[in-house]
Amino acid sequence: MKNCFFQFLNDKLELPVDGVFDTPNVQMIGNYVLNLEGCIGIKKYETTEVILRCKKYLICVFGKELTMLTFSQGRICIRGEIFRYEIERV
């Protein structure tokens, strides 16, 4: 029932589902670029592991030679050879 309500809001008010559900938006480009919207901070930053804070989630990125290209207004871009990422609810 709850999902139907949010879908109704999305359809009628043209709100993005990500904003309604308060979830981060993760976009991968190949296995070399990860873009994240909704980031509020960085918990860990190393060349093999980056942990990003969102409101209700942690996004853990694992790879090799990871670097942060941008971090502005809740948007972050991580570049490097990305092996995987995990989303954990906190």
pTM of the predicted structure, to 2 decimals: 0.76
Domains with residue ranges and CATH for the chain: 23-89 (2.60.40.2000)
**Residue 5 pLDDT > 80:** no
Contacts 24+ apart (CB under 8 A), 85-90: 85/26, 85/28, 85/34, 85/59, 85/60, 85/61, 86/59, 86/60, 86/62, 87/24, 87/26, 87/57, 87/58, 87/59, 87/60, 88/57, 88/58, 88/59, 88/60, 89/56, 89/57, 90/56, 90/57, 90/58
- Which pLDDT tens digit goes with each residue over 9-59? 666 666 555 555 568 899 999 999 999 999 999 999 999 999 999 999 999
Q: Stretch 4-11: mean pLDDT, rounded?
A: 64
Query: For residues 17 and 66, which has the higher predicted lDDT (pLDDT)?
Result: 66
